[in-house]
Structure 1
Amino acid sequence: MDTGTHVVMGLALGGIATIDPTVSAHPATAQAVMLGAIIGSQAPDLDTILKLRNNAQYIRNHRGITHSIPAIILWPLLISGIIHYFLPNANFFHLWIWTFIGVILHVFVDIFNAYGTQALRPFSKKWVALGVINTFDPFIFFMHIVGILLWGYGAHPGYTFLTIYLILIGYYILRFSQRRKVANAVNEKIENIEEIIISPTLRFNQWHIAVTTDRYFYVARSVNNEIVIHDTFEKCPLPESPLFNAAKKDKNVSAFLSFSPVYRWEVDDYDDHYEVRFIDLRYRSKGYYPFVAVVQLDAQLEIVSSYTGWIFSEEKLRKKLELIPN
C-alpha cells in the first residue's frame, strides 16, 4: 500500500490496542504502543531510500528483504527496543506485541497489491502478488479517515476500528469475487491462455489485464466485466545473440527482467549505436507503456547508457539517456 494508507493503518492499530487492558491502564505503555504501531506499520518500506541510489537497486530490492520472514521478526525487536529505551516505564512485552502486529499488517496488506512482496524469503524469492487491491485504494483510506474522525469526536477507538476492519474484510472478499469474474471473462474471450495478470486500478470496476498465450501477448482492460483488448503483440522470446547477451548484463536491464513477468522488446540500429528497449505490458496508460528498461550499446557492444523506471514521454526518456541536454 501507499505510505499514507500505512500511516492511517498504524493509527488504527494504536486505537485497537486500547482494548488491551495493560495498554489502557498504563499511560506510558499506551504512548509506547501507539509509537510502535505507527513506526512498525512503516518500517518495512525503509528500503524506499534505495531510490536515492538508483532505480535498478530500488526495483530489484523494494519489498524484498525488508518484507521477508527474518525482517518480520527483527523489525519489532529493533523498534520496541529503541522505544523502550526512551520510555523505560512501558510494558515491553505488550509494546513488542503491538509493534509486531503493525509490521505483520504492513506486509500482509502489501501482498494484495499487483506489485506484491517477497514475503516468503529466505525460503523462496517468488513475488507474492494477489492483484486484488490497488496500491492506493480510496475506500480503504476513506474508512480509516472515518474511524479517526469518530475517534476525535469521542468514539471508542478500539471498537470503532474493529468494526471498520470487519467492513474491510467484507470489502476484500468482494474484490476477490470481482477479480474472479474478470478472469472468467478473459478466459471466455481469449483462447490458449498460459497466464493472466490482472491489476486493480483506482476505479472500482476497472482492471488492467495482461494475457500471455502460446503465440501472443494481449493488453486489455476490464470495465464492468466487459473485456476491451487494446493491443496484441506477437510473443517473441529474447534472441540468443551477442547484442542481447551484452544488453542483459546491464544493471538496469537485469533489474527490469528480474521484476517484470510480461514484456516485449524492440531493437533500433543507428549509425553509431544500438538501442534495445524492454517494455512492461502490465501498466498501459493512455495508450502508452510507461515502465521500461532501455540500454544503448556502441558498435563494439559496450554499454553507453541505460535507464529503467517510469517514463511518460519520449523526450524525458532521451534526457534520462543523456542524448539531449537536461
Structure 2
Amino acid sequence: MDTGTHLVMSVAISGLALADPVVASHPATFAAVATGIILGSQAPDIDTILKLRNNAVYIRHHRGITHSIPAVIIWPLLITLVLHLLFPSADALHVWIWAFGAVGLHVFVDIFNAYGTQAVRPFSKKWVALGIINTFDPIIFGLHVVAIAAWAFGAPPVPTMATLYIVLIGYYLVRIWLHRAVITAVENTVPDAEEVILSPTRYFLQYRVAANSKTHHYVGRAYGRSITIYDKFKIEPLPKTPLFDAVLKDENFKSFVSFSPIYRWEMRMLKNGLQEIRLIDLRYRSNNRYPFVAVAHVDEEYNIVRSYTGWIFSEEKLQSKLI
C-alpha cells in the first residue's frame, strides 16, 4: 500500500491496542506501543531511499529484503530496543507484540497489490503479487479516516477500530471474489489464455488485464465481468544473439526482467547508427501507452551507450532520461 494508507492503518491499530489491558492501564506503555506501531507500519518501506541511487536498484530491491521473513522478525526487535531507551518504564514485551503485528500487517497487505513483495525470502525470491487491491485504495483509506475521525470526536477506540477491521475483512473477501470472477471472464474472452495477470485500479470494478496464450500476449481492460481487449501481440522470445546477450547484462535490463512477468520487445536502428532495444511491460497500459519500459542504445561493438528503466509517460521524457 502507499505511505498514507500505512500511516492511517498505524493510527487505527494504535486505537485497537487499547484492547490490551497492559497497554490501556499504563500510559508509558501506550505511548511506546503507539510509537512502535507507527514505526513498524513504515519500517519495511525504508528501502524507498534506494530511489535516490537509481531506478534499476530501486525496482530490483524495493519491497524485497525489507519485506522478507527475517525482516518481519528483525524490525520489531530493533524498534523495541530503540523504544526501550526512550520509554524505559514501558512493558517491552507488549511493545514488541504490537510492533510485530504492525510490521506483519504491512507486509501482508502489500502482497495484495499488483507490485507485490518478496515476502517469502529467503526461501524464494519470487514476487508475491496477488493483484487484488490497488496500491492506493480510496475505500480502505476513507474507512480508516472515518474511524480515526470518530475516535477523535469521542467514539470509544476499541469497538470503533474493531468494527473498522471487521468491515475491511469483508471488503477484502469481496475483492478476492471479484478478482476470481474477472479472471474467469478473461478466460471466457480469451479461451486459450494460459496466464492472466490483473492490475486493480483505484476504481472498484476496473482492472488492467494482461494475458498470455501459447502464441500471443493480450492486453485489455475489465469493468466488472465486461472485458475489452485493446492489443494483441505475437509472443516472440528474446533472440539469443550477441546484441541481446550484451543488453541483458545491463543493470537496468536485469532489474526490469527480474520484476516484470509479462513483456514484449522491440528493436530499431537509430539515425546515429546505434541500435535501440526496448522491453515493454504489458501490465500497465494507460492512455494508449505502456509506461513501464527498459531501453538501451547499443553501438556496433555491443557496448551499452546509455540505458534506462522506469515509468515514462511520454516519448520526449524517455529521450531526455536517456540523454
Category of TM-score, reference length = shorter chain: over 0.9
Deviation at 1:224, TM superposition (A): 2.7
Q: Secondary structure at the match of 1:146?
A: helix
Question: Counterparts of 1:1-326 in structure 2 under 5 Å?
Answer: 1-270=1-270, 271-322=272-323
The Cα offsets for residues 64-113 of structure 1, whole Å up to 9 and x where unpaired, read as: 10000000000000011101101101110000100000000000000111
CA distance in 2, matches of 1:241, 1:269: 16
- The unaligned stretches of length 5 or more in structure 1 are none
Deviation at 1:314, TM superposition (A): 0.4
Deviation at 1:245, TM superposition (A): 0.5
Partner letter of residue 294 of structure 1? V
Q: Secondary structure at the match of 1:308?
A: strand
| Count of equivalent residues | 322
CA distance in 1, matches of 2:37, 2:249: 42
The Cα offsets for residues 48-71 of structure 1, whole Å up to 9 and x where unpaired, read as: 000000000011001110000000
Give me the identity figure in percent: 58
The ranges of structure 1 where at least 4 consecutive aligned residues each deviate by more than 6 angstroms after the TM superposition are: none
- The unaligned stretches of length 5 or more in structure 2 are none
Deviation at 1:191, TM superposition (A): 2.4
CA distance in 1, matches of 2:146, 2:24: 22
CA distance in 2, matches of 1:198, 1:191: 16
Q: Secondary structure at the match of 1:193?
A: coil
Q: Secondary structure at the match of 2:264?
A: strand
The Cα offsets for residues 192-224 of structure 1, whole Å up to 9 and x where unpaired, read as: 212100111011111111000011000011113
CA distance in 2, matches of 1:243, 1:194: 30
Partner letter of residue 99 of structure 2? T
CA distance in 1, matches of 2:47, 2:135: 17
Q: Secondary structure at the match of 2:194?
A: strand
CA distance in 2, matches of 1:297, 1:236: 21
Deviation at 1:189, TM superposition (A): 1.2
CA distance in 2, matches of 1:54, 1:172: 34
Q: Secondary structure at the match of 1:197?
A: strand
Partner letter of residue 138 of structure 1? P
CA distance in 1, matches of 2:224, 2:68: 36
Deviation at 1:299, TM superposition (A): 1.2
Partner letter of residue 287 of structure 1? N
CA distance in 1, matches of 2:190, 2:262: 17
* TM-score for the superposition, normalised by structure 1: 0.98
The Cα offsets for residues 234-274 of structure 1, whole Å up to 9 and x where unpaired, read as: 10000001110111011001100010000000001124211
The Cα offsets for residues 27-54 of structure 1, whole Å up to 9 and x where unpaired, read as: 0000000000011000000000000000
CA distance in 1, matches of 2:240, 2:98: 52
Stretch of structure 1 that moved more, 268-277 or 228-237 = 268-277
